[in-house]
Amino acid sequence: MSGPHLLTLNEGGVDYKVVTECRVCKGTNLKTYLDLGNAPLPNNLLGASTEIHRVYPLRVLFCQDCCLSQLSVVVNPKLMFDQYAYHSSVSQTFKDHCATMAQDLMDIWKKKESPTKRVMPMVMDIASNDGCLLREFRKEGFTVNGVEPAKNHMLPFEDLIPVIHEYWSESLANAYTINADFITATNVFAHVDDLDDFLRGVKKALRPDGVFVVEVPYLQDLMLGNQYDTIYHEHLSYFLLTPLKHLFDLHSLPIFRVERQKIHGGSLRIYAAKAGVHEVEPSVEQLLNHERLMGYTKFNHYQVFKKNVEQERRDLQKMLMGLVGKKVMGYGASAKGASLLNYCGITPFQIQSIVDDTPDKQGKFVPGCGIPIVDFSHFEKERPDYIVLLAWNFADELIKKTKHLGAKYIIPIPWVRVI
Ligand code: DWN
Ligand code: ZN
């Protein structure tokens, strides 16, 4: 949807490519089930509301061969991730999730019986962002290493955590002797175009009996929770277990356990290892059956999503138009927030500003809709009548921090409501 300052699409330019084959199975049986129009890159925040920026088509395709949902274009990752405004440590809920994950992996390590077991397990976190998960691993007693392309995510020297500032790839794995007991990749697998190269690198960097742990937003939760706002250009793939199993089998890295996690509106955590190392647990077959029985392996199942999304857009627009004249602020200048605001055509006319506790985002503007991002003190100064929770996945945490303001809350997902 067009916001106030959009440019036209860069047809034929070099900053994105059009997807013609499925990134998992290489099939060409791809069918569109959702078109969200043209959208800007949600974390490429603007220095001024009038700053020029580009938009790209935002369309989701379903592969009728392996059931992977994927965007119809791939934007050059360097445009999105060389500088990355998102800092995962800002959320306490996510920090707690990381602490639990570190304990879970340490439990696996403690139970492991092997004559070649190290004293301290070594974990490498791919796309380590601001080191949120690495710090929790270190507290648990792991030796830690990070890989993170964003140049603005250099960890302070005092942290003593080595980070390779590159994009993960097979050639990077070849360039270093890594030999990790665990490799983790949370909220990055959906960002990756060449998953084959990524997995070849993982296989190379993992010890023979090492474990690879991936967390991705789960497509079933996205559909059931009407989380259309989590569709944006950073997320190239929307995963079910079905295509993930297909992909990991192709690389002889069988998934031996799968868990559903609550984080980020519902995620899948999968555990994989080299063939023959771990017995495959029943959780894998159970979830595959569930996806099939619920209809997720058939295109028809996805067609209702479009109607729900359009209805939600109308409802949000109607509610916000009804509040014009009131003070309405947002909380959480999330990527999903930018996606939602652009799709729904919201401007500073309806939401005057958005508070975000990430210093890198403050003083900037959400691309497309031009809404300013401000620091927390603005809540105290402005005393809003309504706060729109644009990071609804952290609603409890955001409400706890703002309860004293006495504002009403608007939660836009899965359906627009005021509490
Ligand atoms: O995969 C991705 C996910 C995991 O994270 C990305 N591609 C980018 C990012 O998506 P997002 O921006 O939608 O994620 P969050 O974590 O839902 O964003 C929350 C936003 O809210 C951040 O900008 C931080 C902010 N926030 C805050 O200011 N105060 C959050 C909390 C909890 C707070 O107390
Ligand atoms: Zn496919």
Tell me, what's the pLDDT at 186? 98
Pick 6 or 20 by higher pLDDT: 20
Distance CA 23, CA 64 (A): 13
Q: Does residue 11 carry a pLDDT above 50?
A: no
Distance CA 107, CA 153 (A): 29
Distance from Cα 101 to the centre of ligand 2, integer Å? 30
Distance from Cα 65 to the centre of ligand 2, integer Å? 5
Distance CA 389, CA 354 (A): 10
Q: How does the average pLDDT of the chain come out, rounded?
A: 95
pLDDT in tens, 320-369: 999 999 999 999 999 999 999 999 999 999 999 999 999 999 999 999 99
Place of tokens 């061969």: 65
Q: What Rg, from alpha-carbon coordinates, does the chain have?
A: 21
pLDDT in tens, 111-140: 998 888 888 999 999 999 999 999 999 999
Q: Residue whose CA is closest, atom 18 of ligand 1?
A: 334
Q: What angle do CA 34, 36, 38 make, to 5 degrees?
A: 135
- Paired tokens of 36: 């969200």
First to last CA, the chain: 28
Beta strand extents in 244-385 (DSSP E only): 255-261, 267-273, 328-331, 353-355, 373-374
Distance from Cα 217 to the centre of ligand 1, integer Å? 13
Q: For residues 20-49, give the mean pLDDT.
A: 97
364 ligand 1 Cβ < 6 A: no
Closest atom of ligand 1 to CA, residue 332 = 21
Predicted TM-score of the model (pTM): 0.96
Pick 114 or 42 by higher pLDDT: 42
Lateral strand order in the sheet of 180-186: 163-164, 143-147, 122-126, 180-186, 206-217, 267-273, 255-261
231 ligand 1 Cβ < 6 A: no
Give CB contacts under 8 A, 24+ apart, made by 7-13: 7/52, 7/53, 7/54, 7/55, 8/55, 9/38, 9/54, 9/55, 9/56, 9/57, 10/54, 10/56
